[in-house]
Amino acid sequence: MNSEQQEFLDACRAALQEGTFKRVVFGRKASADQPKYRATFDLVVGGKKRFVDFADGAGAPERTELDTEGLVSRMAQTPIFPFQTAVLHTEKNDLHYAENRKGVARVYRSKATMKGVARDHNRAKNYVLDKRRPYLKGLGVTSGKGEVIKKQYGKFRQIANFVEIIDRDIGDFVGEADRPISMLDLGCGKGYLTFAAYDYLRGRARHEPDAVGIDIKTNVIDLCNQISDDLGFDGLNFLNARIEPDKPRKIDILIALHACDTATDDALALGLRSNMEYFFCAPCCQAQIAAQIAERGPKEGNDFDLITQFPLMRRREADIITDVSRALLLQSFGYEVKFLEFTPLEHTLKNVMLAGKRNPKVDREKAFVEYQQLKAASGFAVHALEENTRDLAV
């Protein structure tokens, strides 16, 4: 360790001890022997307690209670050390460590860029999924010791991202509800996100949630019910059934992730008939509109035909048209809608989530007019969500 690295770590220790520490970032360039590396430590405050969030992209994020000597010791060990760049953010100033191309190091200060910034662990965007949650072990995501299994890091990150999304969007609703919250997950599969959402609701709501996962695969339903029973999740049940869009159920929160093709529309239609409050939908395999666009042939004055003459691009155009049509139709029924990136692209290309909530301020008539305009311009005649909801007042 050179003297400048020691000076930098001593400054980290001092900032932690005097309570001015905000964040520190360590980096190392890629070389023939090792890949590029970046690690961050962020202070998180919550009442009388202080936590530090650690992330380096190699595994699941970690949150631990503040331990000054333990943190500084970790900073001085592999894989963080030997670091080549580092920035310490404090209330007073920023401290930089940098090495030039010849490996000559220097430490210098600059104006504080995080002065007055405080990360509160109660804020929704700071939610971090605890890898020790029992359902993660039951689903095979973590080991008996509560550690994320290496090949399951992608799945863990997907679950964690989803819980952060619902924490941000429904956190206030969950905490304030004075009755049991009902949740329905359509096409739940093995139930990774069903368990995660139920566990989140159960830990924050005043009453035991009423949650149901539905799928047509008998084996996964049996497995999920067994895990639910083993964990004592009394309010979580799984059913072997198909989506029935014309049969309303009690639903506050609708989840339909990767329901194939028009099954997504069946799920949303059921939610609309059930007067859902919130929905989280990640559609896939949007084949219905793609087939109609392929059959329409060239359309005079349609510049997009220059793009959709290529089959792959035509399919991608159909995906966008399908989902925007869904968003406009949902708005026409009084829902505020947004598109989100559900999970990083390295895990799945199907990473678009359609999320929304009931909002009486939405201009329903305008949304329906825009849907009709999109329908006419793009050349499709039938959309499953429109067909499934023709009897509902728009």
Average pLDDT score, the chain: 84
Q: Two tokens at 347?
A: 């895990």
Distance CA 160, CA 163 (A): 5
Query: Tell me, what's the pLDDT at 123?
Result: 44
Per-residue pLDDT at 280: 94
pLDDT over 70 percentage in the chain: 86
Pick from 273, 262, 296, 243: nearest CA to 383: 262
To the question of pTM greater than 0.85 for the whole model, the response is no
State the amino acid at position 297 in one-letter form. G
- In this structure, the number of other CB atoms found within 10 A of the CB of residue 149 comes to 14
Looking at this protein, which amino acid is placed at residue 167? D
**Residues with Cβ < 8 Å from 36, sequence gap 6 or more?**
27, 28, 29, 30
**What six digits make up the tokens of 170?**
């429904």
Decide if 157 contacts 137 (C-beta within 8 A). Answer: no
Q: Residues 69-81: what's their mean pLDDT? A: 93
Mean pLDDT of the 204-216 span: 89
Distance CA 350, CA 256 (A): 13
The pLDDT value recorded for residue 246 is 82
Bigger pLDDT: 88 vs 300 = 88
Domain limits, the chain: 3-111, 125-388
125-388 is classed in which CATH architecture? 3-Layer(aba) Sandwich (3.40)
Phi-psi region for residue 172, left (φ > 0), alpha (ψ -120 to 50) or beta? alpha
Q: Residue 374: CB partners within 8 Å, gap ≥ 6?
A: 321, 324, 325, 328
Distances (CA, A) of 87 to 4, 13, 322, 371: 13, 14, 45, 49
Is a pLDDT exceeding 60 seen at residue 344? Answer: no
Please give the pLDDT value at position 303: 58
pLDDT bracket for residue 55 (50, 70, 90): confident
Q: Mean per-residue pLDDT for 26-35? A: 83
Question: CA 103, 106, 112, 114: dihedral to nearest 10 degrees?
Answer: 30
Could you identify the residue written with the tokens 């019910």?
A: 225
Report the pLDDT value the prediction gives residue 122, as an integer from 0 to 100: 46
Given this model, what pLDDT does residue 32 score? 78
Look at residue 350 in the predicted model and tell me its pLDDT.
58
Cα distances (angstroms) measured from residue 63 to each of 44, 54, 66, 346: 9, 6, 9, 24
Proportion of the chain above pLDDT 90, given as a percent: 37
Decide if 95 contacts 11 (C-beta within 8 A).
yes
Mean pLDDT of the 363-373 span: 92
Task: Give the model's confidence band at 346: pLDDT under 50 very low, under 70 low, under 90 confident, else very high.
Answer: very low
What average pLDDT does range 113-134 have in this prediction? 66
